[in-house]
């Protein structure tokens, strides 16, 4: 069973992934020097989402996250849509993490390396949660050391100019600012991963502390890296960058630090991919147990105690996406799915009673409105594809219930 430290580790490991090494450039393209403000907006929405999720997880100590909360608080269809959004969005995230890892490790052979990474990490998750935690500790430590080295070099190498942080520069407009916040939100996604593992924590009361601790810690890391990148590269150069943290390292200390960043990026992607597969498989487990997905996926391994069939199914779908996905589209689609997921979480938190440790009313309201605004601020293509996939999920649910109703009517007929 997980303790507070292990739960915090899972949350941090799920957040610090490919996002911190890739998302600052497109976000700076939208927000310019206002990037730190966009990061704070994303963090506020993430905090509200995390608080709502943590309070709900304390009342529903079983695996499944918002799939369970929506089902219990809003009705079966909302729980189903939350689970559908989470699974499809996070499977896309898994593909992004795998491909980003491969791009740093062996450019030119991204898909083959990405498939290999998915297969290996699925096998690690298959043999048990404890071994996954041990790997996550090592990966997270390496990533934090690499990012810390870059930040220190940025402010001691003479290239940082605080004047580049002047908010009096070009105002991007609210759409640009919130659009950037929506992109940055992709880098925060994962803060409530521990909530999807609620059935495996030692004491449900550690969930709120673990979620908050991991979110605050990762926010500080992101602010340090993002502000350093703006101060050294400037908003225009940062917006044009393909690998912003590598460019920051090169401008601050030279090629030797670029190698450190490459290793750190690879470790970050592996750590996030490990946690993502872990969380998605638990939601698949919960949905399968309720009959929304094939019930065979709800099987628990007798020796390792994990949903082994769900793990293998998630890994197989990620491999298919790795072989066919467009990275930019996958990032936007993933962000849309996750924002829908947390919008339902906040709506569920509004249904908590005063005796259930309900968060202050402002928290789920800000979280719900924030999720909707950020989702609609994403690129139009991502919004349209995300809405279409959500509609397909709703259609599957309606079709299943229509068929069940007909079957029941036939059995009860004359």
In angstroms, the Cα distances linking 410 to 105, 169, 400, 405 are 58, 69, 15, 9
Smallest CA-to-CA distance from 279 within 196, 343, 337 is with 196
- pLDDT, residue 48, reads 92
Which DSSP letter does residue 361 get? T
d(CA 137, CA 121): 14
- Specify which residues 2 forms β-bridges with: 201
Helix axes 206-240 and 129-156, enclosed angle (nearest 10): 40
How many H-runs (helices) and E-runs (strands) does the chain carry?
16, 0
- pLDDT, residue 349, reads 93
Q: Which residue has the higher pLDDT, 149 or 289?
A: 149
- pLDDT, residue 40, reads 93
Q: What share of the chain is helix, strand, coil (3-state, %, to 5)?
A: 80, 0, 20
The greatest distance separating any two alpha carbons of the chain, rounded to the nearest whole angstrom, comes to: 86
- pLDDT, residue 205, reads 65
Q: Which CATH class is domain 4-397?
A: mainly alpha
Helix axes 206-240 and 173-188, enclosed angle (nearest 10): 130
Check whether 223 has a pLDDT greater than 90.
yes
- pLDDT, residue 128, reads 63
- pLDDT, residue 355, reads 81
Kindly report the pTM of this predicted structure. Answer: 0.81
What does the pLDDT average to over 141-154? Answer: 91
Q: Which of 124-128, 129-133, 150-154, 384-388 has the lowest mean pLDDT?
A: 129-133
- pLDDT, residue 233, reads 93
Q: Which residue has the higher pLDDT, 58 or 78?
A: 78
Smallest CA-to-CA distance from 278 within 1, 13, 3 is with 13
What does the pLDDT average to over 247-276? Answer: 85
- pLDDT, residue 139, reads 75
Check whether 204 has a pLDDT greater than 70.
no
What does the pLDDT average to over 46-63? Answer: 81
- pLDDT, residue 1, reads 59
Give the chain's length.
414
Check whether 61 has a pLDDT greater than 80.
no
- pLDDT, residue 278, reads 77
Contact partners, residue 37, CB within 8 Å, separation at least 6: 31, 167, 177
Q: pLDDT averaged over the chain? A: 82
In angstroms, the Cα distances linking 381 to 42, 152, 239 are 21, 38, 20
Give residue-wise pLDDT tens across range 314-359. 888 899 888 887 766 777 788 889 899 999 999 999 999 888 878 8
Which DSSP letter does residue 302 get? T
What does the pLDDT average to over 175-192? Answer: 84
Alpha-carbon dihedral sign for residues 140, 146, 148, 150: negative
Check whether 56 has a pLDDT greater than 90.
no
Which DSSP letter does residue 242 get? S
Question: To which H or E segment does residue 153 belong?
Answer: helix 129-156
Q: Which residue has the higher pLDDT, 377 or 410?
A: 377
Smallest CA-to-CA distance from 143 within 265, 25, 287, 315 is with 265
Check whether 231 has a pLDDT greater than 70.
yes
Where do the structural domains in the chain lie, given as residue ranges? Answer: 4-397
Confidence of residue 103 (pLDDT cuts 50, 70, 90): confident
* Residue 340 backbone class (left: φ over 0; alpha: ψ -120 to 50; beta: rest): alpha
Report percent pLDDT > 70 for the chain: 86
Q: Which residue has the higher pLDDT, 287 or 369?
A: 369
In angstroms, the Cα distances linking 139 to 80, 100, 130, 213 are 33, 15, 14, 19
Residue spans of beta strands (DSSP E) within 218-374 = none
- pLDDT, residue 141, reads 83
- pLDDT, residue 158, reads 82
- pLDDT, residue 147, reads 93
Q: If DSSP codes are grouped into helix, strand and coil, which group holds residue 201?
A: strand
The C-alpha torsion from 277 through 282 and 286 to 289, rounded to 10°, is 80
- pLDDT, residue 210, reads 77
CB 96 within 8 A of CB 382: no
Helix axes 327-349 and 380-412, enclosed angle (nearest 10): 60
Check whether 413 has a pLDDT greater than 60.
no
How is residue 21 written in tokens? 């090494």
In angstroms, the Cα distances linking 263 to 105, 113, 143, 218, 249 are 8, 15, 8, 19, 13
First to last CA, the chain: 52
Q: Which residue has the higher pLDDT, 37 or 7?
A: 37
């Amino acid at each position: 069973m997980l303790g507070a430290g292990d739960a915090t580790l899972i949350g941090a490991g799920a957040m610090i992934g490919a996002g911190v090494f890739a998302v600052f450039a497109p976000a700076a393209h939208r927000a310019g020097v206002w990037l730190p403000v966009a990061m704070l907006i994303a963090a506020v929405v993430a905090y509200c989402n995390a608080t709502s999720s943590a309070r709900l997880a304390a009342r529903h100590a079983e695996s499944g996250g918002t799939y369970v909360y929506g089902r219990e608080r809003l009705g079966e269809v909302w729980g189903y849509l939350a689970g559908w959004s989470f699974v499809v969005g996070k499977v896309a995230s898994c593909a992004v993490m795998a491909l980003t890892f491969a791009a740093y490790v062996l450019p030119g052979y991204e898909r083959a390396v990405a498939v290999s990474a998915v297969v290996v990490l699925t096998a690690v998750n298959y043999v048990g949660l404890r071994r996954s935690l041990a790997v996550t500790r090592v990966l997270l430590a390496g990533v934090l050391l690499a990012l810390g080295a870059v930040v220190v070099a940025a402010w001691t190498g003479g290239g940082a100019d605080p004047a580049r942080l002047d908010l009096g520069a070009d105002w991007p407009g609210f759409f640009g600012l919130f659009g950037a916040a929506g992109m940055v939100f992709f880098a925060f996604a994962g803060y409530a991963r521990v909530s999807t593992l609620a059935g495996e924590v030692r004491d449900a009361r550690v969930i709120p502390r673990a979620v908050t601790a991991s979110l605050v810690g990762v926010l500080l890391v992101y602010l340090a890296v993002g502000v350093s990148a703006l101060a050294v590269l400037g908003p225009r150069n940062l917006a044009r960058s393909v690998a912003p943290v590598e460019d920051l390292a090169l401008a601050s200390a030279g090629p030797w630090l670029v190698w450190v960043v490459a290793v750190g990026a690879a470790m970050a992607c592996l750590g996030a991919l490990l946690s993502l597969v872990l969380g998605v498989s638990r939601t698949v487990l919960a949905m399968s147990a309720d009959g929304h997905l094939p019930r065979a996926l709800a099987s628990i391994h007798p020796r390792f105690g994990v949903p082994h069939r769900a793990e293998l199914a998630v890994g197989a779908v990620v491999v298919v996406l790795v072989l066919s996905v467009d990275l930019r589209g996958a990032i936007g689609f993933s962000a849309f799915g996750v924002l829908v997921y947390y919008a339902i979480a906040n709506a569920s938190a509004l249904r908590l009673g005063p005796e259930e440790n309900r968060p202050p009313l402002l928290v789920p309201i800000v979280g719900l409105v924030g999720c909707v605004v950020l989702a609609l601020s994403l690129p139009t293509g991502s919004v349209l594809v995300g809405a279409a996939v959500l509609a397909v999920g709703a259609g599957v649910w309606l079709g299943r219930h229509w068929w069940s109703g007909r079957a029941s009517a036939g059995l009860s007929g004359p």
